[in-house]
Chains A and B, each alone.
Chain A
Amino acid sequence: MSIKIDVDMTKCQHYGQCCFEAPTVFELDADGKLNVLTHEVDEDMREAVEAAADVCPMQAITLTDI
């Protein structure tokens, strides 16, 4: 199974907390804006992306099993 990652950019406030939990998926650019590096990850990344979704202060990250 894979996991689809959606970030609601109308909610995202670019706090970057997700970047610490899943640095291969989320990064802040030099201007402090969030970049989502990939929108789909394998099952072995579940713990990391779930942690990223959990720590988002704006609760802007949605994960879907696909």
Chain B
Amino acid sequence: MTTVVIVGAGLGGLRAAESLRANGFVGEISVIGDEPHMPYNRPPLSKEALKSGLDMSTLEFRRKASVADVTWQLGSAVVACDLSARTITLADGSIVGFDALVAASGIRPRDFNIPGPRNGRHFLRAAADAHALREQLVPGARIVILGSGFIGCEVAATARQLGCEVDIVTLDPVPMYRPLGTILGAGMRAHHEEHGVRFHFGRSITEFTGHDRVTGAVLDDDSSLEADVVLEAVGSVPNTQWLAGNNIDLSDGILTDSSLRVVGSPAPFVAVGDVARYENALFPGVARRIEHWNLPTDTGKRAGATLATLLAGGQPDQTPFAPMPSFWSDQYHCKVQSFGVPGIADEIVIVGGEPSGECVAEYRRDGALVGVIGINSTSALVPYRTALMAG
């Protein structure tokens, strides 16, 4: 029987499995994941799960009946792959063969290996990370957060609500600088400062102090901060190391064509979710890797269709791939929502409201709309999304 192996048991892996079935693939599907959990929703890990505790039964995605016969091999990391021999190697040394492969291996937090004790320093990606961090976020605890992206800012908001002292150290001039830009970033800075978060902009951490566990951080201006707990949240790295040596483009994630087929692979091979880099027909000219929550679903559906067609001896749909990137973030009473790729804009125009309250901002590049972001303005974004879809 034909076997598809899916590396990664997150949202992208689940959607790829569902799509393989929806597109008529009746062979064996085996999903291999390094975490011990069935696919679950990660966004609550920086919010509700830190506040009220982890409940995996509410975080797990509902799975369609069509994937009831899929084999889930959880708690197994894939360490190597030979695309010519069509095998993968697991951490325990066992070798698994496949006829076709799906990379859904996602990303991991970037680790700068800053000197100092490790105990008391956290990253946040997996359920286990949230569980460990939650235990430290007791009222009065001092948390130093390195990085002012979504995760850093969401954890800051949650930690303030839990009664912790929060310092954010960031090289950027405003929080969420890359996706929001300076104007909305300044608005979100005001929200955080109103809630008592202290920012240290333009700064990095050179070392952590403490013996058995972290007690503080030294900044690059030689100032220091006391800390009971640290969160390092400065970007992420695509999990592609298991694919090394296969002569495919892994320069930033896995390069695919518009059908999500991995470029240069000798075996039928697609990539989905955070680890895939592809050209979006809505924002053409550059293959990008975008880490937004909705894209594992969009890429999983398309990639599953591609692979099912290939395995049935057909030619995959070559229609340009044009999913609408979208992100959201909840911090305090602020709901930040985006459509498009605001990060590539060269001009930002506030078209309504105030960045410190409700507002809508247009993001333009060479005069053309490339994204829109609203703060507490969901309904106002609808016509913009329509315009972005129309290209």
Contacts and interface: CB of A to CB of B under 8 A. Distances in A.
B379 A57 contact: no
Interface string B169-205: 0000000000000000000000000000000000000
B44 to A, nearest CB: 9
B337 A15 contact: yes
Interface in A14-40: 14-17, 19-20, 28-32
B378 A32 contact: yes
B110 interface: no
Interface residues of B, number: 20
A52 B370 CA distance: 24
B382 A28 contact: yes
Please tell me the size bucket of the interface on A.
10 to 19
Contacts of B167: none
Interface in A26-66: 28-32, 50, 53-55, 57, 59, 62
Interface in B220-260: none
A2 interface: no
A1 B385 CA distance: 33
A29 B335 CA distance: 17
B382 A62 contact: no
Contacts of A28: 378-379, 382
A53 B297 CA distance: 11
B387 to A, nearest CB: 13
Contact of B297 (A20, A29, A54): A54
Nearest to B44: A58
A16 B41 contact: no
Nearest to A20: B385
Contacts of B328: 15, 57
Contact of B41 (A14, A15, A59): A59
B326 interface: yes
Interface of B: 15, 41, 43, 61-62, 64, 293-294, 297, 324, 326, 328, 330, 335, 337, 377-379, 382, 385
Interface of A: 13-17, 19-20, 28-32, 50, 53-55, 57, 59, 62
